Every structure is written in structure tokens, then in C-alpha cells.
Structure 1
Amino acid sequence: MSVIQNIIGRIAVLRGGKYSVEVDVATDEGFGRFTSPIDDNPMLHIAEARRAVSEVDEIIGPELIGFDASEQELIDSYLWEIDGTEDFSHIGANTALAVSTAIAKAAANSRDMPLYSYIGGTFATELPVPVLSFAQDDMFDYYLVVKDLLEVTDIIDATNKIREIVKEINLENLSKASEDVGVELGLEVALGIGMKKEMDIEKVLNLVEDYNVAYIKPIGPPELFLELIAGTHGVFIDGEYLFRTNSVLDRRYYNALSIKPINLGTLTDLYNFVNDVKAEKITPILAEAKYEPADETFPHIALGLRCPAMLISWSSIEKINELNRIAEELGERGRIITFEE
């Protein structure tokens, strides 16, 4: 057993200068710490962050002291009971995620195990491919995909070279640069695009076909997703918009889904949802929130949940470095997944 002795909350600053809650969990045998990210419309200004800290210190912490930290599912279900709502609107999904993840890290630490092994078990050895968000313009967010990574750092080399080459950010320039850099590095380098507004279906299909696009996050009606699935080959169609707006979880409409842990709540909720996505034969992509902590936990969760890819900012150096450390730790047991549909 690894009995929880103390849980402490504090205010933490995220990338972009936003505030969130950081949670420390101490057991009789281990320690865990996690700061929750927040997403596009952050409610956690300083006053809200202080309220979240109070929830942890005065309500959640005292309720969880004495629990065995390894009983993750039990603890996460109890967090729902403490909250008493259907969407964590009382304590907040961000607070629930911070507590849940810190507890998992404490349990892993008590067993002297890396978090990815604690979550995923012995066979959690397939490293997720990092898909980097690295540029944007009025039309698209741009991502870089290296389909045949040999080393984790290949994606950084490719991103740096493209950023050096391209002086004006647009789809045509980035597409050509990605192809040229792929030839130079001997890698299969491709673009990902995230649409910022709706476009004609035929135009979207042409963009995917003409501009070396391997991954797209469309915005539009269900018909657009159906056409993209039918009209493309080997391209990941991310259904985040369709799931968020219409609650559609269906392989007929898309073959990939970016998943932000902050939108689920506890680690157990995230684990169950990733498995639901896999059951539909849809590729789960663990995705950063808009505002993230400088924290190494994200790649451990992606690997432990066996997500084939993780969607992060090119500036999230701590996550890239940790993925590289994990690859070194796994050695010959580790394998970088080929990012192909």
C-alpha cells in the first residue's frame, strides 16, 4: 500500500501567463506533483485559482487522506462524489485532473516506476509520435508530421529547418519547404492543417491532395468529414470539431480524434474515453490545452494510454526532452510508432 498522508494545493503560472492549481500528494512511500492545464476560455484568473487551492486544501485533501494511492479508479470516482455534479462544475475539471494525476504520480513513485509503466504496464513501449504545432496564418494552424521518425529529435530538426526556410507563412510555402526538408533529412515530412473557418468541400479536398497534407482538423458540417474520409487515402481526419459540436464518435466520419485531458476530468475518465475512441477504430491523439504547465507528465500519459501520437506546441521543450529520456530509458524495448493511417 501507499497511503495518502497529505494533499496540498498552490497557485501555479502556466505558459501564456495564466493561473492554475498545482497539487502535491505525499504518501508514506512516495510523492507526486501535477499542475493542471487550462483551455481556450480560461476561468482561472488569480481569484479562481485561489478558490481551487482552497478546494484542494480544505475539502478534497482531508477527504482523501488515508486512501491507498494505487486505488486510482476508486479515488477518481470519489472525486465525482465530492464534486456532486455531472460535469465537475463545483470543484472544476482542472482541479480534479490535478489531484487525480498527482495521486497517480505518487503511486508510481512509491513503486519506483515511471508513470508510463504504472499507467500502461509492461507492454507500454510504443512511443507516441509528436505532432508539432509550429505556425499559423489567417486560414490555418499548421502542424508538422514526420511519419518515419528514427529519433525523437528528428521532428525538432525538421521544424527548425522549415522555420529557417520559410519567410512568409502560407500553405504553399510550408508545403514546398516540408517536401524539401524531407529530402534533405531523408525523412517523410508532411504538414498538418487546422482549419480556422469553413471552406467549400471541394476546395478542402484539393488542398489535402495538392499540398503534402497528412493530417487535417476540419471545421464544417458532417458532410465535409464524410467527403474527406471517402476522398483521401492515408490522411488523418481529426474529428475534434464534429465531436465537440455534435457529439459524433463514429469511424465513418473521421479516423482520428485529438483529446485534451482537461476536457475529461480524472485520469480514469481519460483512460475510459481513450478506450472508447479505440473501440471505434479511431486513432486517439493526446492533445495539449491552450495553456500548459512546464511539466514532463504529458508524454508519460500518452505512452501509458497507448496513444499513437501527441499534439503539442513546438515550444513545449520539456515534453520533447522527456519523450527523448523515455526513449533512452526503454532502449531496444522502445519503438517509435509510424504515423500512418
Structure 2
Amino acid sequence: MPAQPACHISSLFALEVLDSRGNPTVEACVTLNDGSSGRAIVPSGASTGCREAVELRDDDPARYQGRGVLKAVANINDLIAPALIGQRADEQRRLDRLMCELDGTDSKSQLGANAILAVSMALTRAAASHHHQPLYRYLGGSNAHLLPVPCLNVINGGRHASNNLDIQEFKIVPHQASSFAEAIRMGEETFHALKTLLADSGLGTGIGDEGGFAPMLTSNEQAVELILQAIEAAGYRPGEDISLALDPAASEMADTGGYRFSHSDNALRSADEMIELWQAWLDRYPILLLEDPLGEEDWAGWETLTRQLAGRVELVGDDLLCTNPELLQRAIDRGVANSVLIKPNQIGTVTETLDCVALANRHGYGCYLSHRSGDSEDTFIADLAVAIGCGHMKTGSGCRSERVAKFNQLLRIEHELGSQASFAGRGTFRTRSA
């Protein structure tokens, strides 16, 4: 029997490994018949949209409080591997579709999106290795060169911290840097200035799930004020060198008839009152981006929000859109949002992730690439950011190794690109109208 040409899958297996919370997750490992290989670990979210692809868990209370992933691992080893071994690894779209067909559900609930995505990412890495290309170039082509503005989540609240803040992420955006390396330096200097400021004020410097500080404060506004002080203490100008981005994660605030800030004033606000609140914050603070400022079911509220604020700020749909091309098309048709958060594990394959990016680009929507709160040392999204040229991404704060691993990979990519590298800052971080 003649030997298969190179780039065919010779082995595929999966393991149960751990994420940054110490919860199980899936790692897939692919080897090709020329010895090239790739492996990938999928992340897991805490604040999740109801339309996300299904993360398969074992629900066995005797293991990891029911959060084990042995079913997903077995689905790779027993079902996906026999279907893929012998196939060409660089036929990404066909293999991703084959896995989706093998699953047979719209939500990937049969095999698990965590199983399918782990294999999809590992295949991409193995194919890139076979073609002797870095991952960002294999995915993005020879012109992939744009380094993203990092949005550092310096104060955590909501589902990401055990404190009294309703807003889930308070982020700094060092957009006026001349390079990614300089942006990281500016961000880290501000992060450490904030730590000193909190400590000097007698406030806690413990951290939340994504590496941001998680102090008990008097209000959500106090978090913003402290960050602005930290920017100045680090020697930068709020709104000129470093601006702000917020993720209210409003779906987590949804209550009968509106939204409730249950951690602070406990007030129930209508969608219109929430819009008024964000408008007042935009008037008062240098905010460039609002992610999920309204809930995932509140499409009418989002329409009003977009009409009123899209010219002033980037309005990002996360739970609303779930990296799903069908949901994004609905938003485009209804004039909702002007940017989509990109999280590969929300949709479940590399191909569908790239399809969502392509649809956003065709219609002038921004793409804001993201990690998950339960992440790992895997740096796939760092390469993906450069491949798609998204211009900005969030991958945590200024500490925790699973967060800075992505920063370090982007620093390596910038160094490798040398004079070909461009940074998406220097005043180019701007809102796209819907």
C-alpha cells in the first residue's frame, strides 16, 4: 500500500487537563504523518450567553463537583479520531464541517463544543507546522502584520470577583503607544500604580478570575475614579494616552422589567434608564468601548442604544451575538451594535470563528477578540488576533500567567515581524458606526 502524502493525520487523542480556575478542560493533540504536530486547550467562560455552543460536562458529582470532561475526551478519542485519521489536516473547513455533521446538533451538544474546538485548533496548529509557517501567518496569510491594542482588565467585578461591583470588567486601553511592547509597558505601569493606590487607600489588592484587582468599593463609579487616578500616577493622560473600556455584562443584571445593580444600589433600571446611565458615563469619563451594556434578550433596547450611542462609542455584542454569524446577521439587519466580541469557544470551530469575522468586516462592524475567564497557557488567540487584524483584544489583566502568556506571544510575534509589524494604536483606535 503506497504511503500517504504528507499532511495527513496519523494520530489524534485528547486529555482532561486543567484551566486557570483548576477546573477540568479538554486538550487535543494531533500528529501528522510527516511528524508535524499541534495541540490545543479550550477555555471556559463563567459569564456565558444562552446561545453559546454547548460545553459538554460529565455532571458526575464524584469527580470535580460534576465539572469533569471525560465525556468530551472520550468523544474525541472514540468518535472524532476515527473519522479524521487519514484526512488532510490543512483542509480546515472540510474537517470542521465533518465534525459538526458528526455531532448533528446546532449547539454542538452531542460531542461538545469543547471537544470539537480543541480538535479544530490543534488541527490548525499541526497544519501550520507542516507548512513551516507561524500560526498567525497560516491563518491570516502573508500580509498578517497588525498587532492589537491590549485592553487590560484591571478591576474585576460581577461574576469574575467576590466583591460588591456590578460591572464585570473595568479595562484600560493604552491606545496611544507606538508599538505593542510599549502598550504593554504602559498598561503594566498603570496596573502596578493602581495596586499601590489601592494599598495606600486601605483597599484590597487580591485579584479576580482574570487577574484584575477585586476590592470592595463604595460604588461602580469609584472603580473608574481609582483607575483614572492610577493612569495619572503612572505618568499618563486619561483619554489621551490611556482610555477606558467597560464590560457591564448586563445579561447578568437582567431582572423582571429591567436591570438590577444588585451589588451596589439595588435599583431596578429600565433599558432607557440604562442607556441614560451609559450616556452620562460617556459624558463624564474617557470610555471608548462598552461591551454588553444591555442584555442578550433585549434587542429592542439594543436598537435604541445603537441609534443613540453608536457614533460615540464602540458597542460590542458578546452574550448578544456569541461569535455566531447568524446572530451577527440579525444584528446587522436590525441596526444593532457596531462590533462583535470574538470568542472561538462560543461557536466551536476555527472555521465558524473566521466566518463571523469575515461577516463583520463586510458590514463595517468591529471585531474585538477575547479570552475566557477560565483560560489556560494556550496562546492560540494571540496568533488569531494578528491573523484577523482585529485591532484590539482583551486577554486579562497585568498578572496571572495564563493571561500574560498571550501578551508574551504577541511580543514574540511583534519581534519576529520586525519592521513589517504595525500597531493598531496611535489614534487609530476609533468607533465604527453600525
The offset of 1:81, in angstroms, is 1.7
> What is the identity, as a one-letter code, of the residue corresponding to 1:270?
T
Unaligned segments of structure 2, at least 5 residues: 1-5, 49-54, 59-63, 158-164, 204-216, 218-222, 254-258, 260-268
Matched, 1:44 2:57: yes
> What is the identity, as a one-letter code, of the residue corresponding to 2:189?
D
Aligned-residue CA RMSD (Å):
2.5
Moved more, 139-148 or 169-178: 169-178
The offset of 1:182, in angstroms, is 5.6
CA contact (8 A) 1:127 1:334 kept: yes
Equivalent residue, structure 2, for 1:235: 313
Equivalent residue, structure 2, for 1:329: 416
TM-score by length of 2: 0.73
CA contact (8 A) 2:232 2:238 kept: no
In structure 1, C-alpha distance between the alignment counterparts of 2:229 and 2:306, rounded to whole Å: 22
Per-residue deviation, residues 101-121 of structure 1 (Å, max 9, x unmatched): 101100101111110000000
The offset of 1:209, in angstroms, is 1.6
In structure 2, C-alpha distance between the alignment counterparts of 1:149 and 1:73, rounded to whole Å: 37
Change in Cα spacing, 1:73 to 1:178, as seen in structure 2 (3 Å) is same
Equivalent residue, structure 2, for 1:102: 122
The offset of 1:236, in angstroms, is 1.5
In structure 2, C-alpha distance between the alignment counterparts of 1:185 and 1:21, rounded to whole Å: 41
Counterpart of 1:13 (choices 14, 18, 22) is: 18
- 1:25-174 → structure 2 map (5 Å cutoff): 25-29=30-34, 30-40=36-46, 44=57, 46=64, 48-137=68-157, 138-140=165-167, 141-152=169-180, 153-154=184-185, 155-166=187-198, 167=201, 170-174=223-227
The structure in which a higher percent of residues are strand is 1
The offset of 1:276, in angstroms, is 1.3
> What is the identity, as a one-letter code, of the residue corresponding to 1:16?
R
Change in Cα spacing, 1:224 to 1:177, as seen in structure 2 (3 Å) is farther
- Percent of matched pairs sharing the same residue: 25
Equivalent residue, structure 2, for 1:303: 386
Matched, 1:216 2:290: yes
Change in Cα spacing, 1:55 to 1:15, as seen in structure 2 (3 Å) is same
CA contact (8 A) 2:147 2:386 kept: yes
Unaligned segments of structure 1, at least 5 residues: none
In structure 1, C-alpha distance between the alignment counterparts of 2:363 and 2:75, rounded to whole Å: 37
- Number of residue equivalences: 341
Change in Cα spacing, 1:179 to 1:238, as seen in structure 2 (3 Å) is farther
> What is the identity, as a one-letter code, of the residue corresponding to 1:340?
R
The offset of 1:161, in angstroms, is 2.3
Moved more, 37-46 or 179-188: 179-188
CA contact (8 A) 1:52 1:95 kept: yes
Highest Rg: 1 or 2?
2
In structure 1, C-alpha distance between the alignment counterparts of 2:381 and 2:87, rounded to whole Å: 25
- 1:190-209 → structure 2 map (5 Å cutoff): 190-195=243-248, 196=250, 197=253, 198=259, 199=269, 200=273, 201-209=275-283
CA contact (8 A) 2:244 2:286 kept: yes
CA contact (8 A) 2:152 2:171 kept: yes
